[in-house]
Amino acid sequence: MPDTLFEKIWNEHLIAEVGGGDLLLVDRVLLHERTGGVALQSLRARGHALAAPAQVFATMDHVVDTRPGRSARIGASFGAPFIEVTRREALAAGIRLFDVDDAQQGIVHVISPELGIVLPGLTLVCPDSHTGTQGAFGALAWGIGSTEAEHALATQTLRVKKPSVLRVQIDGVLSVAVTAKDLALHLIATHGAAGGKGAVVEFAGPAVRALDIEARMTLCNMATEFSAFAAIIAPDERTFAYLRGRPLAPTGAAFERAVEHWRSLRSDAGARFDGEIRLDASAVRPMVTWGTNPQDAVPIEAVVPPFAAGIGHESAAAYERAIRYMGLQPGEPMRGLPVDGAFIGACTNSRLSDLRRAAGILEGRKVAAGVRAICVPGSSEVKRRAEADGLADIFIRAGFEWRESGCSMCFFAGGEHFAPGQRIISSTNRNFEGRQGPQTRTHLASPETVAASAISGHIAGVDELGS
């Protein structure tokens, strides 16, 4: 019988059927300091050793200080207790730790591909909801809780109920000004935040194949906001070229043998999916959110829709709460809405290609008066390369704060944040209430739209800036 890509990977890792689920082999476990240190500490307290410490990797990303000179301030940082526990437990467990001052430190979903930790056909878990980002490489990668992390660390297995598979076929060609972020927001706005239904979403079609690897990562990252269990894209020559020479990827003849296997990792002709969605990429416009859920998205030139047009809102009361929180009215234009802050970063859009595109918008221009603009590279390697290529200078001259790598103000966890009531245009993946600070109002968009809005002082498309 023809198999989907998901089924091929699942079957290769299936150990046994147990207790209403399947016991799977887990190839890689990724940890970060927000939850990883505690999981390691709990495991050690119960006398359990790690089953495969060489396949476990930890990084400092979620609650690190991203302001310049952070190493000197780490003891006073609100995240210091998490960092200290993770540092101590990673050393005791004998796993690879990318510490605050490590040259390979960064956001977990950025450094894993960067280093070649994730590879096609692997199973990979992390106690972080956006782990599916790494499905862009043809891996089965999903987010787990701390208890599941302990089980995976101790046994190199997890019991999982087999999810359904949803194919999202994207035909046509994206317009020049449209990005993978816009494509993801269009999908979620069209089919609702629950459209993924806990499924593994396979993105396929010519528009997906045309995306570069980092754009595919953005698309898979946003599948979490589509309620997907995971997202996956069949690996191809772009994938292999990206991974070749990565520090932890196979080398030489071993890499070539791996590629031969990786070429088989695609859904067979005639494979059956549990559902299918078809999109026309040429119909997608640059998008921006208006409410408190990523599904609350419209083209920049559109207006705040009335309740009848709101996909996925359970009630008029929920809709009213969203527009009240955001300080908007039905029918109000999105274009021209004043912004107080602009943020480029997070595991969604903080890679070198994201910064390069944003810098292309910023070059020779200045951030509008009264707008606080921040750029946080996704990894220390991205930061170094952006500085070497002159991108950092463009951000700084334009008026952006240039930071150390980390999650930063993607989410508010008790550290740095934007001011209450401020309206922020952001390249992140979530616009929930209080996501970037108490009472802050977040509008999601692509890095290009964030850059154009920072310059304009209001929500703006790149088309407003001229050539």
Asked whether the beta carbons of 159 and 148 are under 8 A apart, the reply is no
Q: How many CB atoms lie within 10 A of CB 435?
A: 22
pLDDT at 70 > cutoff 90: no
For residue 152, pLDDT beyond 70: yes
Q: Which residues contact 72 (CB under 8 A, 6 or more apart)?
A: none
Q: What is the pLDDT of residues 393-406, one digit of tens each?
A: 999 999 999 999 99
Q: Tell me what pLDDT residue 76 has.
A: 60
Please report, for the chain, the start and end positions of each structural domain, with discontinuous segments joined by +: 18-159, 165-283, 287-460
Q: List strand residue ranges (DSSP E) for 36-107, in order.
A: 56-59, 96-98
Average pLDDT of the residues in 58-63: 96
Q: Pick the closest to residue 175 from 186, 159, 162, 164 (CA basis).
A: 186
Q: Which tens digits make up the pLDDT trace of 367-414?
A: 999 999 999 999 999 999 999 999 999 999 999 999 999 999 999 876
Average per-residue pLDDT for the chain:
96
Percent of the chain with pLDDT over 90: 93
Distance between start and end Cα atoms, the chain: 53
What's the pLDDT at 315?
86
Per-residue confidence band for 19, with pLDDT thresholds at 50, 70 and 90: confident
| pLDDT of amino acid 467 | 64
Quick one: average pLDDT of 140-157? 97
Res 415 pLDDT > 80: no
Q: Is CATH 3.30.499.10 the right assignment for the domain spanning 287-460?
A: yes
pTM check: above 0.95: yes
Instruction: Indicate if 287-460 has the same CATH topology as 18-159.
Output: yes
pLDDT (tens digit per residue) in 119-146? 999 999 999 999 999 999 999 999 999 9
Looking at the domain that runs over 18-159, which CATH code has it been given? 3.30.499.10
Q: Could you tell me the CATH superfamily of domain 165-283? A: Aconitase, Domain 2 (3.40.1060.10)
Q: In the block, which residue shows the tokens 């419209």?
A: 298
Return the pLDDT at 291: 96
Residue 72 has a pLDDT of 64
